[in-house]
Structure 1
Amino acid sequence: MFSLFNNPEQLVYIIITLLIAFTLHEFAHAYVAYKFGDPTAKNQGRLTFNPIKHLDPIGTILIFIIGFGWAKPVPVNRFYFKNPRLAGVLVSLAGPLTNLVLAFIAQTAYIALVIAGIQVPLFLTGLLMTMISLNILLFVFNLIPLPPLDGYRIISDLVPNRIRPKLTQYEQYGGLLFLVIAITPLSNYTITPLFNTTIPAIQQFFGVIIGTLFGL
C-alpha cells in the first residue's frame, strides 16, 4: 500500500484526494442501493457528500500511521432488492467505478490544461497526479476478491447459491488473509506488484482514450 511517510511532501495532496475519493466511493454505494430500493444508508445519513459521515475514525488515523486505512462501510440491506444478485453486484461495483471515473477526470483535466498551453501551478499538478494514481489504486485494491472488499461482495453475488454459504463460512479467514497480505511484508510480493502493473497500465489506457478525444 501507499505510505504517507515515504512521501511527506505529498501529504496535502493525499489528504484532499482521500477525502474526495472515500466520500464519493461510499456515496456511490449508498446512492445505487437507494435507487434499487434500499433506504438503509439514506436513513443513516450516508446519502451525502459530507466526508465526516463517511470517514471511519480508526481507518483514517491508520492511513497516517501505517499508510493503510478505510472509510466507513455503507450499510446495505439486500432484502429490499427485487433482484438481489444484480443489485448487489451493481452496488458493490459503484464504489470502485467511481474511483476509476475520478482518476479519468483528473487525467483528462491535466492533459486538457497542457494542450491548452496553460502553465499549471505546481500545487494543481501535484494534486491531479495524486488523484490519478490514488483513485486507480483504490479501484484496483477494492476489487481484490477478499473480505471485506467490494471484490469479494461481487464474487459472493455471482457464485451459485450452493457455494455462498461456504464463502460465508470462511469469511473470517479471508479477512485475516487480507490483513496479512495488506499490512505485512508479504504485500511486497502480492499487492505491491499488482499495483505496479495495473496503475501504469490503466493510466496508459486512459491516455489512449483521452488522446483520441482530443485528436492527438
Structure 2
Amino acid sequence: MNTLEVILKNIQNVKVIEDSIDYVNYIPLDLSVSNTFFSKQEIATSRDFEEFIEKYLAKDKSKVAFGGYNEERNLYKRSTVFNDNESAERNIHIGLDLWIKAGTPVLAALDGTIHSFKNNVGLGDYGPTIILKHQIENHFFYTLYGHLSLESITKIEIGDRIKKGQQIATLGSSLINGDYSPHLHFQIIKNIGANFGDYPGVCSKNDLDYYLENCPDPNLLLKIT
C-alpha cells in the first residue's frame, strides 16, 4: 500500500451520495460473471435492470446497493464502447457503483476543484460526468462521478472550488446515463493524463494491473464495509 492509499484510508466521514442515508442501509450487490442468481435474471432493458435493483433493495429494506470494484461483468457486452472488434474486450469494472434512484444528491468526497466535465453520450457510457481534482499534502489525485443528470453540468465551470460533502450533482435517469438503472459510478484516479471529463471505468484483463494501481479501491475512502 503506497502513501496515497494510506492517506485515503485515514480519512474519515466521507459520503458521495445523500448524506442522510447511513451506511447500515447499504447492501452489497454482486454483478459479476460468477453470480449465477444475477445471470438468470431477465434483464433486456434498463427498465428491467431498474426493477431488479428496486426489488433487491426492497428485499432487505435497504436504500443503496453498492459494489463492483475489480469485478468482471457481462453487463458491457451490449455496447461497442467496450467491444469494438479492434481491441481486447473491456469487462472489468474499476470504480465503485452506488445504486439508488434518479435525482439522488451526489456529494464531493473531498475538498477540491472541478477539473473537467462532459456529457459522455452513448449506450453504456457515463452520460454526464464530473471530475474533481484534489491535493492532500504533496499528492494530487482525482475523483470521477459518472451517470449524472444533465442539470449537473450546466452551471459549473472548470476551476470552481468544491468543499467536502458539498452537493455537486444529482443522479441521472436511464434516458441520459448510458441506459443503466440509476446509479453513481465513483472512481479514484491517480494519474489522469490528458483525459478530460472522461476516464476509463472498465478495463480489459490485459490492462488490469495498471488500472488497479492507478485507480485504488474507492472503499478505502468511503469505508462502507
Q: With the length of structure 1 as denominator, give the TM-score of the two structures.
A: 0.28
**Structure whose residues are more often strand by fraction:** 2
Q: With the length of structure 2 as denominator, give the TM-score of the two structures.
A: 0.28
Higher relative contact order (CA 8 A, sep 6+): 2
